[in-house]
A and B are shown apart, each in its own frame.
Chain A
Amino acid sequence: MGLFILRRFGVMLLTALCLTFIVFFLTNLYPNLEKLAKTQGNQRMSDEQVQTWLDNRGYSEPLLTKYGRWLGVVPGFTKTLNDGQFVGSCVRPGVTQEETPRFCGIAQGDWGYSTRFKADVDEIIWKRLGNTLYLMMWVMILMVPSALLVGVLAGMREGSRTDRSLSTFSILSTATPEYVSGVIFIAVFTSSTVGLKWFKGTATQAMEEPTFENFFLPVLTIALYGMGYIARMTRASMTEVMTAQYIRTARLKGVSFPNIVIKHALRNALIAPFTVIMLQFPWLLNGVVIVESLFNYKGFGWVLVEAAGNNDIQLLLAVSVVSVFVVLITQLISDIGYVYLNPRIRIS
Chain B
Amino acid sequence: MEPLGTFEIIIRVLYQLSSVWIALLLLFALSIAFKRRLGLYGKLFDSPIGMIGFGLVMFWVFVGIFGAMDLIITHDPLSQVSGMKNKLPGTPLAGAEQGEYAWYLLGGDNLARDVFSRVIKGAWIVVQIAPLATLFAFMVGITLGLPAGYYGGRLDTFLSFLANLILAFPVILLFYLLVTPEIVATGLPTMMAIVLFMFPIIFLGVLLNSRYRTQPAFRTPLLIGVLGFALWLYLALISEGGYLVRSIPGLPSVLDPFDIPGGILVVFVSVVFVNSPTVFRIVRGLAMDIKTRDYVAAAQTRGEGPWYIMLWEILPNARGPLIVDFCLRIGYTTILLGTLGFFGLGLPPESPDWGSTINEGRKLLSIYLHPALPPALALLSLVLGLNLLADGLREESLKD
Distance of A123 Cα from B180 Cα, bound (Å): 27
- A31 with B380: in contact, given A177-B339, A187-B372, A327-B170 (CB under 8 Å)? no
Contact A186 B380 (CB under 8 A): no
Residues of A within 8 A of B391 (CB): 171
Number of interface residues of A (CB under 8 A): 51
User: Size range of the interface on B?
Assistant: 35 or more
Contact B178 A285 (CB under 8 A): no
Residues of B within 8 A of A194 (CB): 369
Distance of A320 Cα from B172 Cα, bound (Å): 11
Binds A, one of B147-155, B193-201, B358-366: B358-366
Contact A191 B358 (CB under 8 A): no
Residues of A within 8 A of B171 (CB): 286
Distance of A286 Cα from B176 Cα, bound (Å): 12
Q: List 25 A-B contacts (CB under 8 A).
A: A15-B165, A19-B165, A23-B173, A23-B177, A29-B183, A31-B183, A31-B186, A32-B183, A175-B331, A176-B383, A176-B384, A180-B358, A180-B379, A183-B362, A183-B376, A184-B377, A186-B362, A191-B367, A193-B367, A193-B369, A285-B170, A289-B170, A304-B173, A308-B177, A311-B182
Q: Which residues of B contact A (CB under 8 A)?
A: 161, 164-165, 167-173, 176-178, 180, 182-183, 185-186, 188, 331, 335, 338-339, 342-343, 355, 358-359, 361-362, 365-369, 372-373, 376-377, 379-380, 383-384, 386-388, 391
Interface SS of chain A? helix
- A35 with B388: in contact, given A15-B165, A191-B369 (CB under 8 Å)? no
Contact among B177, B178, B183, B384 for A175, CB-based, below 8 A: B384
Contact A19 B169 (CB under 8 A): yes
Q: Give the tally of cross-chain contacts (CB within 8 A).
A: 136
Contact A305 B384 (CB under 8 A): no
Contact B365 A32 (CB under 8 A): no
Nearest chain B CB to A234 CB, angstrom units: 16
Q: Kindly report which residue of chain B lies nearest to residue A26, judged by CB atoms.
A: B177
Given A183-B361, A324-B168, 11 more pairs with CB closer than 8 A: A23-B177, A172-B384, A175-B384, A176-B380, A176-B383, A177-B383, A184-B373, A285-B172, A304-B170, A323-B170, A327-B170
- A179 with B339: in contact, given A29-B183, A193-B369, A201-B366 (CB under 8 Å)? yes
Residues of B within 8 A of A290 (CB): 172, 339, 342
Contact A179 B388 (CB under 8 A): no
A65 at interface (Cβ–Cβ under 8 A)?
Answer: no
Residues of B within 8 A of A19 (CB): 165, 168-169
Contact B173 A186 (CB under 8 A): no
Distance of A184 Cα from B373 Cα, bound (Å): 7
Nearest chain A CB to B140 CB, angstrom units: 18
Residues of B within 8 A of A23 (CB): 173, 177
Residue in A174, A176, A187, A319 whose Cβ sees the most chain B Cβ within 10 Å: A187
A328 at interface (Cβ–Cβ under 8 A)?
Answer: yes
A333 at interface (Cβ–Cβ under 8 A)?
Answer: no
Q: Kindly report which residue of chain A lies nearest to residue B335, judged by CB atoms.
A: A177
Distance of A226 Cα from B177 Cα, bound (Å): 25
Residues of B within 8 A of A175 (CB): 331, 380, 383-384, 386-387
Contact B343 A293 (CB under 8 A): yes
Nearest chain B CB to A123 CB, angstrom units: 21
Cβ < 8 Å to B, chain A residues 71-85: none
- A289 with B172: in contact, given A31-B182, A187-B369 (CB under 8 Å)? yes
